Structure 1
Amino acid sequence: MKNKAITVFGEVLFDHFPDGSKVLGGAPFNVAWHLQAFGGNPQFISRIDNDPSGIQIRVAMQSWNMNPDFLQQDFCYPTGQVEVAINQGEPSYSILPDQAYDHIEMAGLNGLNHTGILYHGTLATRSAISRETLMSLKALHQGKIFIDVNLRQPWWNKADVLALIKDTDWLKLNLHELQALHDDVTDVKTSMKELVSRYKLEGIVVTCGEEGALALDNSGEFFSVSPTTPVGLIDTVGAGDAFSAILLLGINLGWPLGQTMERAQIFASAITGRRGATVNDLNFYHPFIASWQLG
Structure 2
Amino acid sequence: MSQPNLDVIGVGNAIVDVLAKADDAFLAAHDIPKGGMLLIDEEHASVIYKDMAAAVEISGGSAANSIACIASLGGHGGFVGKVSEDTLGDIFRHDLRALGVEFDTKPLTEGPGTGRCLINVTEDAQRSMTTFLGSAGYVEPDDIDPAQIKRAAITFFEGYLFEQPVAREAFIRACQIAKDDGKKTALTLSDASCVERQFDVLHDFIGKNVDILLANDVEAAALFETDDIEAIAEKARKLCPLTAVTRSEQGSVLIPRDGDIVYVDAIPPTALVDTTGAGDAYAAGLLFGLARGFSLDKAGKLGSIAACEIISHFGARPSESLKDLAQKASLL
- With normalisation by structure 1, the TM-score equals 0.88
Q: CA deviation at 1:182?
A: 1.5
- Sort the Cα spacing of 1:31 and 1:66 in 2 relative to 1 into closer, same or farther, 3 A: same
Partner of residue 74, structure 1: 108
1:248 to 287, 300, 325: 287
1:136 aligns with 2:178: no
Render the CA deviation track for 1:213-270: whole Å, top value 9, x for unaligned.
1112122311222334442121000010100001111111111111211221122111
Question: Are the aligned partners of 1:231 and 1:270 in contact in 2 as well (CA < 8 Å)?
Answer: no
1:189 aligns with 2:230: yes
1:122 aligns with 2:164: no
Matches of 2:89 and 2:303, distance apart in 1: 30
Q: CA deviation at 1:288?
A: 2.6
Q: Which 4+ residue blocks in structure 1 deviate beyond 4 angstroms?
A: 2-5, 152-155
Root mean square deviation, CA, Å: 2.2
Letter in 2 for 1:237: T
The within-5 A match list for 1:55-74 is: 55-69=90-104, 71-74=105-108
Matches of 1:225 and 1:147, distance apart in 2: 20
Matches of 2:214 and 2:230, distance apart in 1: 14
Question: Are the aligned partners of 1:101 and 1:130 in contact in 2 as well (CA < 8 Å)?
Answer: no
Question: Are the aligned partners of 2:155 and 2:184 in contact in 1 as well (CA < 8 Å)?
Answer: yes
2:85 to 50, 54, 77: 50
Matches of 1:24 and 1:252, distance apart in 2: 24
1:238 to 277, 282, 294: 277
The within-5 A match list for 1:129-278 is: 129-141=166-178, 142=181, 143-151=183-191, 153=193, 156-166=197-207, 167-185=209-227, 187-196=228-237, 198-199=238-239, 201-278=240-317
Letter in 2 for 1:9: V
**2:81 is paired with a residue of what secondary structure?**
strand
Of Structure 1 and Structure 2, the greater helix share is in 2
Q: List gaps (5 residues or longer) in structure 2.
A: 21-52
Partner of residue 142, structure 2: 107
- Sort the Cα spacing of 1:113 and 1:181 in 2 relative to 1 into closer, same or farther, 3 A: closer
Matches of 1:72 and 1:152, distance apart in 2: 31
Letter in 2 for 1:135: I
Q: List gaps (5 residues or longer) in structure 1.
A: none
- Sort the Cα spacing of 1:4 and 1:221 in 2 relative to 1 into closer, same or farther, 3 A: farther
Letter in 2 for 1:178: A
- Sort the Cα spacing of 1:43 and 1:204 in 2 relative to 1 into closer, same or farther, 3 A: same
Matches of 1:228 and 1:123, distance apart in 2: 27
Deviates more, 1:86-95 or 1:49-58: 86-95
Letter in 1 for 2:229: V
1:92 aligns with 2:134: no
1:36 aligns with 2:76: no
Q: CA deviation at 1:5?
A: 4.4
Aligned length: 286
**1:260 is paired with a residue of what secondary structure?**
helix
- With normalisation by structure 2, the TM-score equals 0.79
Partner of residue 15, structure 1: 17
Render the CA deviation track for 1:69-127: whole Å, top value 9, x for unaligned.
2x320122221111222232111211224x21211133352442425211102111221
**1:73 is paired with a residue of what secondary structure?**
coil
Deviates more, 1:157-166 or 1:246-255: 157-166
